[in-house]
Amino acid sequence: MTAFIMTRKIILSILGIALIVGAFLFAKYLIANKNKPKPVVPKVVKTVLVDTVKNTTVPIVISANGNLTAKQRVELYSEVQGVFKTGNKLFKAGEKFNKGETLIRLDASEYYASVQSAKSNLYNSIAAIMPDLRLDFTDVYPKWQAYLNGFDLNKSTPQLPEMSGEKENYFITGRGIVSAYYNVKNLEQRLAKYRITAPFTGILTEALVTEGTLVRSGQKLGEFINPSVYEMQVAVSKSYADVLKEGEAVTLTNLEKTKTYEGTVSRVNGSIDATTQTITAFVEVKHDDLKEGMYLEASLNAEKVNDAIEIDRNLLLDSQEIYVVKDSLLDVIPVKPAHFSDATVVLKDVPNGTIILRKPVPGAYAGMQVKAATTDSTE
C-alpha cells in the first residue's frame, strides 16, 4: 500500500514539472513572436489599356438581318383544264428558261377545234354579206374585201374594219358580224391559256406537276423567279424613319463573315408597325453567288453624330458613367449615350484629351491605383 502511494506521488510530480516547463517554453515563444516584425505585403498596381479621347463624326450604322427573296417572282397557276404535254425543256426545279419560252403546254386539241370552227363561221358570215356591200355600200366594199383576203384561220383573227357611218354599223351589226367576232376573240384568249410562257428570263424554283398529269383549273403548277435581282426585308427602329432614304448604300454579309455584298435601299414602307414600333425597309442586291432564301446581315448607314466617340459597350456602367484615369487612379465621369449597337455605344460630349479605358477591368472601382498603357504587352 505504501509503495503504491509513493509511485503515485512520483508520477504526479513528474506531470507537474512537465506542465511548468511547457508553460515556460510557450510563454517564451509568444514573447519572441511579439517582437518579430510583420511581413510587408507588396501593393499590386494593375496595368490597364487606355485611349485618349479625340471627338470626331461617328456614322450610325443600323444592323438588321433577313432572308433574300427574288424581286421578280411569279406563282404559276392554271386557268384551264388539260393534260400536261411534254415540252422542249423539262418542267423541273432548277431548269432555266428565257423570256417568251414555253414553261407549260396543256393539250388543247379539242378546244382548238372549237376555236377554228368559230373563226370559220365568222369568215362565212362576212363572205355572205359581200354581195350586199358591193351593191348598197360601194364605198366600204373594198376594205371588207381586203379584210377577207387577209383572213387566215391559222393566225389570230384581225380586228374588224372601222365603221364609216351609222348605216354600215347597223348593217354589219344586224348580220351578227360583230358578236361573232368578239366570240372568236374570247375563244382565242382562252386558247392562249393552254400555254404558259416565261414572263422574263429566269429559273424554275418549284415544280408541282409532271408530264402527263391532268391539270385542273386553279391548280398551282410551280414558281418561277428572276435570279439576277434579290430583295431583303428588314425592320428598323421608328427613330430612323426620317433618316432612312431610298438609294442609301447597304453592306451585307453572310453569317460566316466570309463574303460581303453591296446593296441599296430600294423602298421604305410609309407606315410604322403598331406592335413592334419598327419601319420596314427593302434592300436590293445583285450578285451571282446569291440564292433565294439566303440569310444575310445588313449594315445600314442611318445618320452621323458630331463630336462623339465610339467605345466598347461593356465600358459603359449602369449609372451611365465610364472609368477614366487621373493621376494613376481610376475615376468615373457621367456620359451621354447617343446610340447603342450590339457591341459598341456612341457617346457625346466627352472632353477631348480625357484618358479612358480601352478594355473593361475586372474588379475596377473609383480610386483604384493603375498603370496606364497604350499597347497590350501580351499582343
What is the tens place of the pLDDT at every residue in 299-309? 887 778 888 99
Q: Does residue 364 lie in a domain region?
A: yes
Higher model confidence: residue 28 or residue 103? 103
Cell 473609383 belongs to residue: 366
The band of 214, judged by pLDDT with boundaries at 50, 70 and 90, is: very high
250: three-class secondary structure by DSSP: strand
Please indicate, yes or no, if residue 213 is contained in any of the structural domains.
Answer: yes
Q: Are residues 214 and 238 in the same domain?
A: no
Based on the domain organization, do 330 and 233 belong to the same domain? no
Q: Band of the pLDDT at 87, cuts 50, 70, 90?
A: confident
Predicted model pTM? 0.65
Q: Quick count: other Cβ atoms within 10 Å of Cβ 280?
A: 17
Mean of the per-residue pLDDT values of the chain:
87
Note whether residue 185 is domain-resident: yes
Do 284 and 318 share a structural domain?
Answer: no
Which pLDDT score, from 0 to 100, does residue 356 have?
Answer: 92
Question: How crowded is residue 15: how many other Cβ atoms within 10 Å of its Cβ?
Answer: 10
Residue 192, phi-psi category: left (phi > 0), alpha (psi -120 to 50), beta (remainder): alpha
Residue 260 is part of a domain; what is its CATH number? 2.40.30.170
Q: What stretch of H or E contains 119?
A: helix 109-136
Domain count along the chain: 5
Do residue 220 and residue 182 come from a single domain? no
Residue 18 falls inside a structural domain: yes
Hey, is 178 helix, strand or coil? helix
pLDDT at 39: 55
Q: For residue 288, give the nearest of 205, 232, 230 by alpha carbon.
A: 230
Q: How far apart are CA 31 and CA 42, in angstroms?
A: 27
8 Å CB contact between 229 and 291: no
Tell me whether residue 378 is in a domain. Answer: no
What pLDDT, on a 0 to 100 scale, did the predictor assign at position 41? 47
Between β-strands 260-272 and 249-254, what pairing exists: parallel, antiparallel or unpaired? antiparallel
**So what's the pLDDT on residue 36?**
53
Residue 42 has pLDDT above 90, yes or no: no
Q: Is residue 179 scored above 80 in pLDDT?
A: yes
Cα dist. 160→132, 177, 227 in Å? 18, 9, 42
Do residues 220 and 264 share a domain? Answer: no
Are 298 and 311 members of one domain?
no
pLDDT score of 254 more than 50: yes
CA nearest 80: which of 116, 105, 49? 105
Q: What percent of the chain has pLDDT over 70?
A: 88
Domain holding 329, by residue range, is 48-58+306-373
Same domain, 95 and 207: yes
In a domain, 133, yes or no: yes
Residue 97 and residue 198 in one domain: yes
Backbone φ and ψ of 241, nearest 5°:
-60, -35
Res. 34: pLDDT tops 80: no
* Per-residue confidence band for 37, with pLDDT thresholds at 50, 70 and 90: low
Judge whether 11 lies within some domain: yes
Do 114 and 98 share a domain, yes or no? no
Q: What is the mean pLDDT of residues 287-291?
A: 91
Give me the pLDDT at residue 2, please: 60
**Residue 379: per-residue pLDDT:** 44
pLDDT at 377 over 60: no
Same domain? For 82 and 181 the reply is: no
Nearest-5° Cα angle at 345, 342 to 349: 170
8 Å CB contact between 102 and 192? no
Check the CA dihedral 58-60-65-68 and report its sign: negative
Task: Please tell me whether residues 242 and 298 are part of one structural domain.
Answer: yes
Rounded CA-CA distance 159/250 in Å is: 51
Q: What is the pLDDT of residue 225?
A: 96
30 with 78, same domain? Answer: no
